[in-house]
Amino acid sequence: MHAHPDDESSKGAATLARYVREGVEVLVCTCTGGERGDILNPAMDRPGVLENMAEIRRKEMAEAAAILGVGHRWLGFVDSGLPGEGEPLPEGCFAVQDLEVAARPLVAAVREFRPHVIITYDETGGYPHPDHIMTHRVSVEAFEAAGDPERHPGTGEPWRPLKLYYSVSFTREWFTAINEGLLARGLESPLADEITDDWFEGMPQLATTTRVTCDDYFEIRDRAIKAHATQIDPEGPWFSTPRDVEREIWPTEEYHLARSHVETTLPETDLFAGIRGDQTVTG
């Protein structure tokens, strides 16, 4: 579950690529079209791009999904943007929807796709964007409601997912390890002047329950995020760490197990711990 196109490639993409290539069926649901996104790649700051942002981002999303090997579904809501302090949210945008309305397309997707595992954001959204916070709310609603035949009638046969995870990304520990690892190798760190207590203030402090080794899929992750050409500068800090160094320092992506209907032992190394058997696994 993601708020905007590009989120699926910047958060947990190597995990998705790994599971797809192990035979797991993976569906990415994107709540909004990213219509209010800015142009974050200077090379894409060209006439007509901003005016056609919705169409461009749909094409970028299709390319990224193909690179990752995932299925994809738009849930059909409009990007809320990131208003300044005290500014109202745009009328009709995703973040102002009634929860029942906002969750209904996701409940339908869950009942059709029948996933065993759902991944979303924690209560903070990972960062305080209104669409990320709303994505958390609708994900929890769908996880809890999809298996109940009394809720969201007309959206398909009930299906109860077994595990709900929150993505744990860009933590203090990750930034610190990458920074110190680069400096220890005599390499320049783009984070050296950034890592301060103030910089980390307000970051979510989720306990990591599950570490998925996925360093063999960092190259696929990078190709997927580069497909979102309006949103990522290939010359920017995202790609400044040599990938062989990143593999040595931090070869995993992290998750927090928020709900589970199966027994599992923590810590985990597999999102499907407690589930895997003879059945086809989806997530």
Whole-number Å distance between alpha carbons of 91 and 85 = 17
Q: Is 6 annotated as a binding residue?
A: no
pLDDT band at 83 (very low <50, low <70, confident <90, very high): confident
Reported as a single tens digit per residue, the pLDDT across 240-273 is 899 999 999 999 999 999 999 999 999 999 999 9
Q: pLDDT at position 56, please?
A: 96
**Locate tokens 């059945």: which residue?**
279
Q: pLDDT at position 279, please?
A: 57
Instruction: Work out whether strand 117-120 and strand 71-77 pair parallel, antiparallel, or are unpaired.
Output: unpaired
Q: Is 4 annotated as a binding residue?
A: yes
As a whole number, mean pLDDT of residues 135-162 equals 98
Could you state, in order of their start, the residue ranges of all structural domains in the chain? 7-169+206-233+254-260
What are the structure tokens assigned to 143, written together?
A: 């996880």
Reported as a single tens digit per residue, the pLDDT across 123-145 is 999 888 999 999 999 999 999 99
Mean pLDDT check: name the lowest of 5-14, 117-126, 200-209: 200-209
3-state secondary structure the chain: CECCCCHHHHCCHHHHHHHHHCCCECEEEEEECCCCCCCCCHHHCCCCCHHHHHHHHHHHHHHHHHHHCCEEEEEEECCCCCCCCCCCCCCCCHHHCCHHHHHHHHHHHHHHHCCCEEEECCCCCCCCCHHHHHHHHHHHHHHHHCCCCCCCCCCCCCCCCCEEEEEECCCHHHHHHHHHHHHHCCCCCCCCCCCCHHHHCCCCCCCCCEEEECHHHHHHHHHHHHHCCCCCCCCCHHHCCCHHHHHHHCCEEEEEEEEECCCCCCCECCCCCCCCCCCCCEC
pLDDT band at 146 (very low <50, low <70, confident <90, very high): very high
CA proximity to 58, closest of 70, 42, 43, 76: 76
Residue 208: pLDDT above 60? yes
Residue 246's Cβ-count burial label (10 Å; 0-12, 13-18, 19+) is middle
Residue 239's Cβ-count burial label (10 Å; 0-12, 13-18, 19+) is middle
Reported as a single tens digit per residue, the pLDDT across 8-58 is 999 999 999 999 999 999 999 999 999 998 999 999 999 989 889 999 999
Please state the CATH superfamily assignment of the domain spanning residues 7-169+206-233+254-260 in this structure. LmbE-like (3.40.50.10320)
Q: Is 2 annotated as a binding residue?
A: no
